A and B are shown apart, each in its own frame.
Chain A
Amino acid sequence: MSMSLQDKLAILSDAARYDASCASSGGQRRDSRDGKGLGSTTGAGICHAFTPDGRCVSLLKILMTNFCIYDCAYCVNRVSSNTPRARFSVEEVVTLTIEFYRRNYIEGLFLSSGIIRSPDDTMRDMVRIVRTLREEHDFRGYVHLKTIPGASAELIEEAGRHADRLSVNIELPTEAGLARLAPEKDAGAIRRHMGDIRLRREEAGDRSHRGTPAPRFAPAGQSTQVIVGADGADDATILRQSQRLYGAYGLKRVYYSAFSPIPEPSALLPVKAPPLVREHRLYQADWLMRFYGFEAGEIAEGGDLDLSMDPKLAWALRHRERFPVDVATAPREMLLRVPGFGTRTVERILSARRHRRLRHADLLRMGASLRKAAPFIEAADWHPGALLDSGHLAARLTPAPRQLALF
């Protein structure tokens, strides 16, 4: 009996929900104002809906198939799971993408897949879907394609030509964790694959000696995802890995995915509540590394991040000797380290302080969170005095402990 499109979509979107990324940002700008193709990319990305888990729906995020020959303990689609299986045809994925897109439900497609037969077989079928979208339907919307380590160079080349973003998931923070929970995956192969994508992107950015640009390759870059809380790795290990990945492979994003209960759990990984607060703190820490000039080592000095406060505040409380910071004179690097100041606030301070002596009320109007910042700064009419060295400062700045919802 053949399955209806509704049924397949239910299975293959349910199977895709554990991938955190739904971003449609970055890359080249295109449109269809010429009246020929369909779609555009603006560079900024749009969230078209939000599911009740608070996550953005930007792309049609589905698996081509959830049949898989691998046996990764954390994954609902692992070969040893009894989850219902389905597979889309090329036409089905193309129709869903285009019809959803025309109704303004989505920015494009995020296509992933279980591994069928071999990495090459899987990648070839995925590339065929994207090629059909681009070449037969002149689809100019966003495409994020999961690539399979071990797939041949020609397939990766073609994937990068059609897709805006490529990604390969590093899955776990350590090689030992990967060996235990995802025995068929090879951390070395994943790193080599990321290195290969970086090299291809750089080649595509180079112009030949005749000045003609090389064919474009994944203009929105590559990203990855790491599962948090499935193995015993601490936050320092996770952040060091992210810092290495950003440095070595020029990743646009590392996504952190709190290990979440799955139907058909594996005996290796008992079901627990997903560590959502920890995931949130990791995203904050990641942000500090990318936009605030922090190093992985200084954010998670003790191994794990403090769950009760954001990592920037925790750092400031550990390093009170660096404060108070005078908003009238401090350099940008130090303003960025003040808890409660975002990058925008810092830009506004740098611009406004050329025109006036900034006061407490000015900072408030400029968007600073003074509840957090006040103990750490000096302004024209403000000095924290003994507040900064107060033993109760941490307690003042963190919300009262709250009974966590029982799982």
Chain B
Amino acid sequence: MPHIALPPTGTAAAWREAARACLSARLPPEAVTWSRGAEAGVLFDEGEAPPPVKAGPIRVPAAFVEMAAQVCWHRDPQRFARLYAFLWRLRLKPALMEDAADPALVALRGMEKAVRRDIHKTHAFVRFREVGERDAPRRRFAAWFEPQHLTLEPSAPFFARRFGDMDWLIATPDLTARFEGGVLRLEEGAPRPELTADDAEELWRTYFRNIFNPARANPARMLAEMPRRYWANLPEAQTIPDLLREAEGRVRAMAEAAPKEAPFYARALAARREEAAAPAPAPAGGLAGLVREIEGCRRCPLWEGATRAVAGEGPVDAALALVGEQPGDGEDLGGRPFVGPAGQLLDGVLREAGIARERTYLTNAVKHFKYTLKGRRRIHQSPSGGEIAACRPWLLAELAELRPKLVVALGATAAAALTGRGEGILKRRGRIEEGPDGLPVLLTVHPSFLLRLPDPVLRETETERFREDLVAARTWLEAQQAA
């Protein structure tokens, strides 16, 4: 019966080669035995060396190749045979790999998981000590580690990527990894080297002791993640028994400590702060004062879900004011009106209509963003009549400060806030109606209406009509100024 002795390094790649050879020779699992290295007690039949690779590709699911590459590092002596037996079945039924309930697959997956965990723990728990001069061009470090499985080889590249600018050595009972001048080598295992603690170790223990919160002591959780068998090589682990012993007393001391008087500098700082705090700023009045008041608005519950209130923006002497619906996601984050997708569309149409945005006052009928959450996205929701009414005083106050010549209401919400009626915008658009205090209000659609139109042709026509409404606003204003 052929026996295949795989090398102690490069084991996973060698298994793959050998398994491919056995499979192309149609060697059933019971006709071959496997081992790592030429282990004592295993008979090696020279007459039946592993069969040569035959031509012709063998296809197996990539998921198997990935799994096998891990399982090979497991200490179970049967791992190679189990892998080959599964591969033997897999060649006729590739879908077996997806059958998460197959007992052989479940066992292999279990081994794979154990290996991955052991690699992860190796990455986590290796502790280097400095063995060279601190001011050498390449500093030198060394570590002794005892992994549960044969995982130094698959673990080593991580250290090469991480510690590229230093030389290091990781010795384990099975294998030694040596990284010198940027070259990684694997050698036979060696007895534990003598490594003396360097001075960083005491600092590390200090950190470990102090980052522990005695009021949350939970040794079971610690042990689940950092089992005792790793402790011998972890310098911080020796502090654990003391930390646990002292925890209860430390917590009791905190509970019994009576609140103390504040230190002198706290009183000095408080006094200085009181002194520095200018008398409450007189209501600034004007538009600036209004903006500050809007920021603190609590007239309806919308503020709770929003980042901030978004007040209007534009020159105090603007002749034209544009009123939209409410801030959207982008406006809520950025704090300015009309900066999201609808705002960008509006910018373009304003330019084409010959209206300068920086000479125009832009605001919204409702100042906080109303939305529902869809998973992780905030989806715009139209404000209710109550919310529009709650916010209306702010809009009226803005307009009272500005006294614009003309207001353009963009969409139904703005129309409702300005004319008391939000219905029938498509019929009323382009008309000038009477707004608060007799202000003339030109009605049109909201730019987001255009964004929602799925048909590009329709969107083009509607954008054209929107532009005409804005041109009408400009012409009306020019006529007023000429008169």
- Over the window 167-204 of chain A, the binary record of Cβ atoms lying under 8 Å from chain B Cβ atoms (1 yes, 0 no) is 00000000000000000000010011011101100000
**Among the interface residues A5, A53, A267, A352, which one has the most CB atoms of the partner chain B within 10 A?**
A53
Nearest A residue to B250, CB-CB: A263
Pick from A55, A188, A271, A274: contact of B308, CB below 8 A.
A188
Pick from B95, B103, B120, B163: contact of A365, CB below 8 A.
B103
Nearest B residue to A365, CB-CB: B106
Nearest Cβ in chain A — how far from B381, in angstroms?
Answer: 13
Nearest B residue to A15, CB-CB: B210
Stretch at the interface among B5-13, B263-271, B311-319: B263-271
- Interface contact B128-A248, CB-CB below 8 Å: no
A102 and B207 in contact, given A42-B158, A56-B225, A354-B98 (Cβ under 8 angstroms): no
Which range holds the interface residue count of chain B? 35 or more
Query: Taking the complex as formed, is A10 at the interface, i.e. its CB lies under 8 A from any CB of chain B?
Result: yes
- Interface contact B254-A263, CB-CB below 8 Å: yes
List A contacts of B101 (CB < 8 A): 348, 352, 356, 358, 362-363, 365-366
Query: Taking the complex as formed, is A369 at the interface, i.e. its CB lies under 8 A from any CB of chain B?
Result: no
Query: Taking the complex as formed, is A208 at the interface, i.e. its CB lies under 8 A from any CB of chain B?
Result: no
- Interface contact A53-B218, CB-CB below 8 Å: yes
Query: Taking the complex as formed, is B260 at the interface, i.e. its CB lies under 8 A from any CB of chain A?
Result: yes
Query: Taking the complex as formed, is B17 at the interface, i.e. its CB lies under 8 A from any CB of chain A?
Result: no
**Among the interface residues A14, A16, A80, A358, which one has the most CB atoms of the partner chain B within 10 A?**
A80
Pick from B123, B222, B266: contact of A54, CB below 8 A.
B222
- Interface contact A103-B200, CB-CB below 8 Å: yes
Query: Taking the complex as formed, is A2 at the interface, i.e. its CB lies under 8 A from any CB of chain B?
Result: no
In angstroms, Cα B240 to Cα A105, docked, is 16
Pick from A17, A56, A80: contact of B266, CB below 8 A.
A80
- Interface contact A9-B206, CB-CB below 8 Å: yes
Pick from B126, B161, B236, B263: contact of A31, CB below 8 A.
B161
- Interface contact A17-B210, CB-CB below 8 Å: yes
Stretch at the interface among B36-44, B47-55, B281-289, B330-338: B330-338
- Interface contact A80-B211, CB-CB below 8 Å: no
* A-facing residues in B87-101 (Cβ within 8 Å): 95, 98-101
List A contacts of B162 (CB < 8 A): 31-32, 39-40
Query: Taking the complex as formed, is B129 at the interface, i.e. its CB lies under 8 A from any CB of chain A?
Result: yes
Stretch at the interface among B371-379, B385-393, B414-422: B371-379
Nearest Cβ in chain A — how far from B206, in angstroms?
Answer: 5
- Interface contact A262-B334, CB-CB below 8 Å: no
Nearest B residue to A188, CB-CB: B308
Query: Taking the complex as formed, is A47 at the interface, i.e. its CB lies under 8 A from any CB of chain B?
Result: yes
- Interface contact A273-B207, CB-CB below 8 Å: no
List A contacts of B217 (CB < 8 A): 52-53
* A interface SS class: loop
- Interface contact A191-B98, CB-CB below 8 Å: no
Nearest A residue to B240, CB-CB: A52
In angstroms, Cα B106 to Cα A293, docked, is 28
- Interface contact A57-B208, CB-CB below 8 Å: yes
Query: Taking the complex as formed, is B262 at the interface, i.e. its CB lies under 8 A from any CB of chain A?
Result: yes
Nearest A residue to B369, CB-CB: A248
- Interface contact B164-A46, CB-CB below 8 Å: no
In angstroms, Cα B124 to Cα A247, docked, is 33
**Among the interface residues B126, B211, B259, which one has the most CB atoms of the partner chain A within 10 A?**
B211
Nearest B residue to A8, CB-CB: B206
A407 and B251 in contact, given A35-B164, A104-B128, A248-B332 (Cβ under 8 angstroms): yes
* B-facing residues in A235-278 (Cβ within 8 Å): 243-244, 246-248, 250, 258, 260-267, 271, 273-274, 276
Nearest Cβ in chain A — how far from B461, in angstroms?
Answer: 29
In angstroms, Cα B98 to Cα A348, docked, is 8
- Over the window 46-66 of chain A, the binary record of Cβ atoms lying under 8 Å from chain B Cβ atoms (1 yes, 0 no) is 111111111111001110000
Nearest Cβ in chain B — how far from A267, in angstroms?
Answer: 4
In angstroms, Cα B333 to Cα A194, docked, is 8
List A contacts of B254 (CB < 8 A): 261-263, 265, 271
Pick from B95, B182, B204, B253: contact of A105, CB below 8 A.
B204
In angstroms, Cα B178 to Cα A291, docked, is 42
Nearest Cβ in chain A — how far from B263, in angstroms?
Answer: 5
Query: Taking the complex as formed, is B427 at the interface, i.e. its CB lies under 8 A from any CB of chain A?
Result: no
- Interface contact A50-B226, CB-CB below 8 Å: yes
List A contacts of B225 (CB < 8 A): 47, 50, 54, 56
- Interface contact A46-B165, CB-CB below 8 Å: no
- Interface contact A54-B210, CB-CB below 8 Å: no
- Interface contact B211-A57, CB-CB below 8 Å: yes
* B-facing residues in A350-407 (Cβ within 8 Å): 351-352, 354-356, 358, 362-363, 365-366, 407
In angstroms, Cα B161 to Cα A39, docked, is 7
A102 and B100 in contact, given A53-B216, A69-B269, A260-B215 (Cβ under 8 angstroms): no
In angstroms, Cα B161 to Cα A42, docked, is 10
* A-facing residues in B276-312 (Cβ within 8 Å): 295, 305, 307-308
In angstroms, Cα B211 to Cα A54, docked, is 12
Nearest Cβ in chain B — how far from A66, in angstroms?
Answer: 12
**Among the interface residues A56, A61, A195, which one has the most CB atoms of the partner chain B within 10 A?**
A195
Query: Taking the complex as formed, is B400 at the interface, i.e. its CB lies under 8 A from any CB of chain A?
Result: no
List B contacts of A363 (CB < 8 A): 101
- Interface contact B161-A188, CB-CB below 8 Å: no
Nearest Cβ in chain A — how far from B70, in angstroms?
Answer: 16
- Interface contact B126-A6, CB-CB below 8 Å: no
In angstroms, Cα B255 to Cα A273, docked, is 9
Query: Taking the complex as formed, is A99 at the interface, i.e. its CB lies under 8 A from any CB of chain B?
Result: yes
List B contacts of A365 (CB < 8 A): 100-101, 103, 106
Query: Taking the complex as formed, is B350 at the interface, i.e. its CB lies under 8 A from any CB of chain A?
Result: no
Query: Taking the complex as formed, is B244 at the interface, i.e. its CB lies under 8 A from any CB of chain A?
Result: yes
- Interface contact A407-B255, CB-CB below 8 Å: yes
A248 and B307 in contact, given A17-B210, A102-B163 (Cβ under 8 angstroms): yes
* A and B contact pairs by CB, cutoff 8 A, 13 listed: A36-B164, A36-B165, A47-B225, A49-B124, A55-B221, A81-B263, A82-B262, A100-B207, A102-B139, A261-B251, A352-B100, A355-B98, A362-B101
Kindly list 19 other residue pairs between chains A and B, CB separation below 8 angstroms, not including A13-B211, A49-B234, A99-B200: A16-B211, A17-B212, A49-B124, A50-B225, A51-B212, A52-B240, A53-B217, A54-B219, A55-B216, A69-B269, A100-B200, A103-B141, A103-B204, A104-B159, A195-B335, A274-B216, A348-B100, A351-B100, A352-B101
